[in-house]
Amino acid sequence: MRDVRRALRALAELEPGELPVLSVYLDMRPHATGENPALRAGTVILKNRLREIEKTYLPRGPELDSIRADAERIDRYLVDEYDVAADGLALFACAGRGLFEAVEAGVPFADQVTVAPQPDLFQLARLVDEHETAVVAVVDSNTSRLFVTRRGVLDEVGGTDEHPKYFRTRPMMGGLNQASYQRHNANLRAQFARETAAELARLVETEGASRVVLAGDAVAIPLLQGALSPREAALVKDVLRLDIRAPLDEVAEEVKQVLAAVDAEDAQTTADLLVGAVRAGGLGVAGLDETRAALEHGQVDELVLDPTAELDEATRGELVRLAQLTSATVEVVEGHEGFQRLGGVGALLRYRHD
């Protein structure tokens, strides 16, 4: 499974063809109750929709053959490759064109199964927008745990267990010995913070993370913050109080809440900027026609969409595709009244085209 951003770009570059492309988004959370609690409603919806789609291509033809081959490939994927821990699954398939792309996520998608000449990319773009990669460090004075959250899934990826070099088991007593002991421990804690900061920086670089969350106790966190480079310090979105022994699911829930709040705040800020730019006649446009034209001219820096805007799926998907092809980001904004009054479709521009 490729990096989501690369998959999104590759899917956007797929030209329309004679054979249909399946776009599948599923909520793969199992039922919590009922006769079959392990049943995933998304798979039921998928099978029903595939049957409906097949009927539209009867009785025969290359389109029907391609759709049936897609259905078989998806079945094999669900049996042999799908990670049952994933709450969301996106699939894009066209057997006749050699296309099969799968994206698993730690958050559910809204169930959707469509067929069209090109993939529907809105929900995938929304996943990228709302679940950027973040690095999380949970620390105390001599232990660290490092995590990465990708596509809504938090994984523990490393850290440093208590190591003899970071603490002393036989404190020196009395006078200068006690003072020396305290200075020694302070130096060890500072060294540990620097090493943890270096490992955190390495993770930020290798993962391409855009956010950092720090968690731990009142002694260790200031030391780690002081050891961060300006680059990593600028990425810190919040500081949490967490015990170093906190289980993974507790860390995941705390981090999820932090990042959701950050995403919501960023979205509202983007909408504020767009409304202000439109009012000032500056680097912002609103409305479907104006936004599409700006995308076609390569002017758009950030495409801004409200999911409740009155757009059909094909039009919305085309806007997202154009954004990907011109290296524009996509920001999904909900509940911003000023942006809704502009129609819920707009863009922040790199430059104006006169």
The one-letter amino acid code at 9 reads R
Q: How many helices (H) and strands (E) does the chain have?
A: 11, 13
Kindly give the interhelix angle for 288-296 and 313-325, rounded to the nearest 10 degrees. Answer: 30
Please check the confidence at residue 184 and state whether its pLDDT lies above 70: no
Residues 131-141 have a mean pLDDT of 92
- Write down the pLDDT at residue 177: 67
What average pLDDT does the segment 331-354 reach? 93
Q: Look at the pTM and tell me if it is higher than 0.75.
A: yes
At residue 254, the pLDDT reads 94
Positive or negative CA dihedral for 178, 179, 182, 187?
negative
Written as six digits, the tokens of 190 are: 């500072």
Structural contact between residues 324 and 121, judged by C-beta atoms closer than 8 angstroms: yes
Burial class (CB in 10 A: 0-12, 13-18, 19+), 135: buried
User: How many Å apart are CA 153 and CA 324, to the nearest integer?
Assistant: 24
Per the prediction, the chain carries an average pLDDT of 90
Residue 166 has pLDDT above 80, yes or no: no
Q: What pLDDT, in 10s, does the model give residues 40-72?
A: 888 999 999 999 999 999 999 999 999 999 999
Please, what are the domains in the chain? 4-120 (3.30.960.10), 134-246 (3.30.420.60), 263-349 (3.30.1330.30)
Q: What does DSSP assign to residue 141?
A: S
Retrieve residue 278's tokens. Answer: 């439109």
β partners of residue 346: 286, 304
Q: Is the pLDDT assigned to residue 168 strictly greater than 50? A: no
Of the candidates 95, 102, 121, the residue with the CA atom closest to the CA atom of residue 2: 102
AA identity, residue 244: I
Q: What is the pLDDT of residue 41?
A: 83
* pLDDT at residue number 212: 96
* Partners of 88 in beta bridges: 27, 105
215 falls in which pLDDT band (50, 70, 90)? very high
Q: Is the pLDDT of residue 294 over 70?
A: yes
- Please give the Cα distance from 292 to 48 (Å, whole number): 34
- Angstrom distance (rounded) from CA 30 to CA 97: 32
Residue 175 pLDDT: 52
d(Cα 232, Cα 209) in Å, to the nearest integer? 10
CA distances to 20, 113, 297 from 62, in Å: 10, 20, 36
What's residue 187's pLDDT? Answer: 79
Token pair listed for 128: 């990228």
* CA-closest candidate to residue 301, choices 279, 334, 277: 277
- 352 or 28, greater pLDDT: 28
Amino acid, single-letter form, for residue 227: A
Rounded average pLDDT over 242-270: 94
What is the per-residue DSSP string for 217-273? -TTHHHHHHHHS-HHHHHHEEEEEE--TT--HHHHHHHHHHHHHHHHHHHHHHHHHH
**Residue 181: pLDDT above 90?**
no
Region 211-218: mean pLDDT is 93
> How deeply is 350 buried, as exposed, middle or buried, from its count of CB atoms within 10 A (0-12, 13-18, 19+)?
middle
Mean pLDDT, residues 88-104 taken together? 95
Query: What average pLDDT does this structure show over 149-157?
Result: 91
Bond into 37 cis (ω within 30)? no
Structure confidence at residue 288 as a pLDDT band (50, 70, 90): very high
Q: Tell me the pLDDT band of 287, cut-offs 50, 70 and 90.
A: very high
**Average confidence (pLDDT) over 138-159:** 91
| pLDDT bracket for residue 151 (50, 70, 90) | confident
Give the per-residue pLDDT at 190.
Answer: 87
- Count of other CB atoms within 10 angstroms of residue 13: 11
Residue 182's pLDDT is what? Answer: 64
CA distance 133 to 208: 7
Question: 178, 208 in Cβ contact below 8 A?
Answer: no
Lowest pLDDT segment from 81-85, 170-174, 191-195, 260-264? 170-174
126 within 8 A of 23, measured Cβ to Cβ: no
Binning pLDDT at 50, 70 and 90, where does residue 306 land? very high
Model confidence at 170, in pLDDT bands (50, 70, 90)? very low
Q: 161 versus 338: which is more confidently predicted?
A: 338
pLDDT at residue 26 greater than cutoff 60: yes
Q: What does the pLDDT read at residue 188? A: 80
